C-alpha cells in the first residue's frame, strides 16, 4: 500500500461531501488549479437546516459533475492524477459515503493512492493555499459549525490544542441566533449581514471561560442571553432591534476568539496566525483579527472566504500533506461521523 513513488509536485484531486456541499478541486503541489462547489443549501433552506437524506441524494447526483468540472477547469486528465484525497469524516455518514465510495473507485481504477482526510484538518490546511510560503509553527483559530479552538501547529502533521469550547461551537451559536431572529438557513452569513446594519450596544456575556489549566470558550450562556433578551422584550410587548441584537451577539461571540488567538501567539512566540472554518469567513472576525495581528506585528494568513466554508481545495491541500507523509488509506476505510479534534 505504501509503495507508491512520491512525486515533488503531485497533482491531487480533492473530494468533499461531508455536509451539504458536493465539492471537487485539483491542486499541483501547493498551487490550486480548480475548485468546484455544488451546494444543496437552497434545497436545505426549505427545511431550516440540513436534512441528511436530502444531502446524500444531492451528493449522488452532483459528485460526477463536480469532479468532471474540476478536472476540466484545471486542464488535467484523470490519467495525470497522482492521488485522490477525500473527506472520510467527520460529517453525515450517508453524505460522506457518497464522496468516499466515488474516491475509492477512482483511486482503485487509476492505481493511485487514496488519501483519507479529516475534514477539520482540511479546514486547517486551507491557509496553505493562500500563502505558498506558509510553514509551521503558527497559531490557528479554528471556528466552524462543529469546532471552536485555538491550535498551535508545530509541524505539518502535529498540533497542540491550546483552548477549545466547552459546549457549542461558534458557528452553531450563529446558526441558533439566526433561528431566534427568524433568519433563514444558513444562519452565519445572515446574522453577519444584519449585524452590519446595527450597533453593538447590548451587553451580552462574552464567550470566554478562563481556568488555570486551559483556555476555554463557552457559547451556551451567550445563546441563552440572546434568547432571554428577545423573550423578555416580547413579554413586555417591546419591539427588539434585531440589527442591534445581531451586532451585539457578533461582538460577544467573536471578540474573545480574536483576543485570545493573538494572546496565544504572543505567549508561544508564534510570528504567524492563520484561521479556518466557516466562521473565519465572517467579515467582522477577519477585520478585527487583522487589526489585532497588525498591532502586534504578527503575520496573518487568512484563506479566501470561499475556502473557509466547506470546499474541496482544502481537502486537496491536506491531501498533499498526507501524500508527503506517505499516509495512504486502505481500500476498506469507512466513513466516520465523528473524529476527535486530537
Rounded to the nearest 10 degrees, the angle between the axes of helix 187-195 and helix 170-180 is 70
Nearest distance from residue 278's CB to Zn ion, in Å? 6
Residue 99 contact among ligand KG4, Zn ion, none, beta carbon within 5 to 8 Å by kind: none
Q: Which does 168 bind (CB under 5 to 8 A by kind): ligand KG4, Zn ion, none?
A: none
Q: Which of residues 267-326 bind ligand KG4 (CB under 6 A)?
A: 277-279, 281-282, 309-310
Residues with Cβ within 8 Å of residue 8, at least 6 apart in sequence: 29
Among 16, 172, 175, 310, binds Zn ion (CB under 5 A): 310
Among 14, 163, 186, 198, binds ligand KG4 (CB under 6 A): 186
Which residues lie closer than 8 Å to 58 by C-beta, 6 or more apart? 20, 22, 38, 40, 43
Sign (positive or negative) of CA dihedral 195, 196, 197, 202: positive
* Residue 300 interacts with which of ligand KG4, Zn ion, none, CB < 5 to 8 Å by class: none
Among 60, 140, 148, 192, binds ligand KG4 (CB under 6 A): 192
Nearest Cα neighbor of 151 from 136, 143, 161, 137 is 161
Answer yes or no whether residue 113 interacts with ligand KG4 by CB under 6 A: no
The residue of the chain with the least Cβ separation from Zn ion equals: 310
Q: Which of 337, 293, 45, 313 is nearest to 189 (CA)?
A: 45
Closer by beta carbon to ligand KG4, 274 or else 309: 309
Size of the site for ligand KG4 (CB under 6 A): 20
Which CB sits closer to ligand KG4, 206 or 309?
Answer: 309
CA–CA distance, 30 with 154 (Å, rounded to integer): 19
> Rounded distance, CA 261 to CA 286, Å?
12
> How many residues appear in the chain?
342
C-alpha dihedral over 192, 194, 199, 204, to 10 degrees? -70
Tell me the closest approach of the beta carbon of residue 157 to ligand KG4, in angstroms: 20
Bridge partners, residue 39, by sequence? 21
Residue span 128-147 as binding mask against ligand KG4, x where in contact by CB under 6 A, dash where not: ----------------xxx-
> What single DSSP character describes residue 181?
T
| Residues at the site binding ligand KG4, with contacts judged by CB under 6 A | 123, 144-146, 171-172, 174-175, 186-189, 192, 277-279, 281-282, 309-310
| Residues at the site binding Zn ion, with contacts judged by CB under 5 A | 144, 310
Amino acid at each position: 500500500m505504501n509503495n507508491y513513488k512520491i512525486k515533488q509536485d503531485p497533482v491531487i484531486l480533492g473530494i468533499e461531501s461531508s455536509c451539504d456541499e458536493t465539492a471537487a478541486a485539483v491542486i499541483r503541489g501547493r498551487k490550486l488549479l480548480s475548485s468546484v462547489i455544488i451546494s444543496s443549501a437552497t434545497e436545505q433552506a426549505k427545511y431550516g437546516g440540513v436534512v441528511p437524506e436530502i444531502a446524500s441524494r444531492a451528493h449522488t447526483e452532483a459528485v460526477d459533475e463536480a469532479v468532471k468540472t474540476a478536472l476540466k477547469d484545471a486542464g488535467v486528465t484523470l490519467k495525470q492524477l497522482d492521488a485522490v484525497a477525500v473527506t472520510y469524516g467527520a460529517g453525515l455518514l450517508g453524505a460522506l459515503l457518497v464522496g468516499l465510495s466515488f474516491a475509492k473507485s477512482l483511486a482503485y481504477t487509476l492505481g493511485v493512492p487514496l488519501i483519507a482526510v479529516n475534514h477539520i484538518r482540511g479546514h486547517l490546511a486551507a491557509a496553505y493555499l493562500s500563502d505558498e510560503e506558509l510553514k509551521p509553527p503558527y497559531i490557528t483559530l479554528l471556528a466552524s459549525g462543529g469546532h471552536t479552538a485555538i491550535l498551535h501547529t508545530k509541524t505539518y502533521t502535529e498540533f497542540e490544542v491550546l483552548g477549545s469550547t466547552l459546549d457549542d461551537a461558534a458557528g452553531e451559536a450563529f446558526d441558533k441566533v439566526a433561528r431566534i431572529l427568524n433568519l433563514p438557513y444558513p444562519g452565519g452569513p445572515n446574522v453577519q449581514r444584519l449585524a452590519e446594519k446595527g450597533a453593538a450596544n447590548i451587553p451580552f456575556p462574552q464567550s470566554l471561560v478562563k481556568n488555570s489549566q486551559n483556555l476555554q470558550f463557552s457559547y451556551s450562556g451567550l445563546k441563552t442571553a440572546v434568547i432571554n433578551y428577545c423573550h423578555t422584550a416580547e413579554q413586555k410587548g417591546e419591539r427588539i432591534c434585531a440589527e442591534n441584537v445581531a451586532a451585539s451577539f457578533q461582538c460577544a461571540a467573536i471578540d474573545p476568539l480574536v483576543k485570545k488567538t493573538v494572546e496565544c501567539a504572543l505567549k508561544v512566540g508564534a510570528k504567524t496566525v492563520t484561521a479556518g472554518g466557516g466562521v473565519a469567513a465572517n467579515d467582522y472576525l477577519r477585520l478585527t483579527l487583522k487589526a489585532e495581528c497588525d498591532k502586534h506585528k504578527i503575520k496573518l494568513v487568512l484563506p479566501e472566504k470561499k475556502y473557509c466554508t466547506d470546499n474541496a481545495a482544502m481537502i486537496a491541500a491536506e491531501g498533499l500533506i498526507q501524500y508527503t507523509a506517505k499516509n495512504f488509506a486502505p481500500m476498506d476505510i469507512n466513513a466516520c461521523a465523528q473524529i476527535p479534534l486530537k
